[in-house]
Amino acid sequence: MSEALELEWRDVDLESGRAIFWKTKTGRRRVAELPPRVVAVLVALPHREGRVFLSDKGRPYWSSDRNAGGQVKTGWKGALRRTGPEPELTPHDLRHTWATWHYALNKDFLALKTAGGWSSVTTVERYAHLAPGGQREAIQIFLGLSCDQGVTEAA
């Protein structure tokens, strides 16, 4: 989530549905494909300069020590307050869900490893849980994808 909170508009291409994350856990740049539903939410944001995600006071999230998680906790609490999902939901839950959905749509551990920025397939196996059969269409509908599309990158 730190990557998302630090995302700048100059690194988002809404036309092609991509975002570039420069400061990642692994230290390597990562390009994320943004599903249509995510693009629609970003298009609706009222600003187009500086950081993409701002606090409810209109300021960028900030933490003196990125590893302490302060900005993530603050950003997450604000997102939950504004959108209303279950308070037990965590950013880590979303990462597991994304990985599971990615694998359900693409059936490719190596593509998931690259998209998720993981260094090994062993790590990918911890994140990607097997979804019950028949979930592909529901996942595509939720993400705003056509029935022949998969998810190639982390969103």
Question: For residue 51, what are the β-bridge partners?
Answer: 8
Mean pLDDT over all residues of the chain?
Answer: 81
pLDDT tens sequence across 35-58: 898 899 899 988 889 998 887 788
pLDDT at 154: 47
pLDDT-wise least confident of 100-109, 125-134, 139-148: 125-134
Percent of the chain with pLDDT over 90: 12
Angstrom CA distances, 79 to 15, 74, 86, 87, stand at 25, 9, 11, 10
pTM score over 0.75: no
Confidence of residue 8 (pLDDT cuts 50, 70, 90): very high
Which pLDDT band holds residue 14 (cuts at 50, 70, 90)?
very high
User: Among 76, 137, 129, 123, which Cα is nearest to 99's?
Assistant: 129
Bridge-based pairing state of the strands 18-21 and 12-13: antiparallel
Predicted confidence (pLDDT) at residue 69 exceeds the cutoff of 70 = no
How far CA 53 is from CA of 7, 41, 45, in Å, comes to: 7, 11, 9
Supply the pLDDT for residue 30: 86
Q: Rounded mean pLDDT of 75-81? A: 76
Average pLDDT over residues 60-70: 63
> Which amino acid does the sequence have at 104?
A
12 pLDDT higher than 90 = yes
Tens digit of pLDDT for each residue in 128-145?
777 777 788 899 998 888
Q: Coil, strand or helix: which one is 17?
A: coil
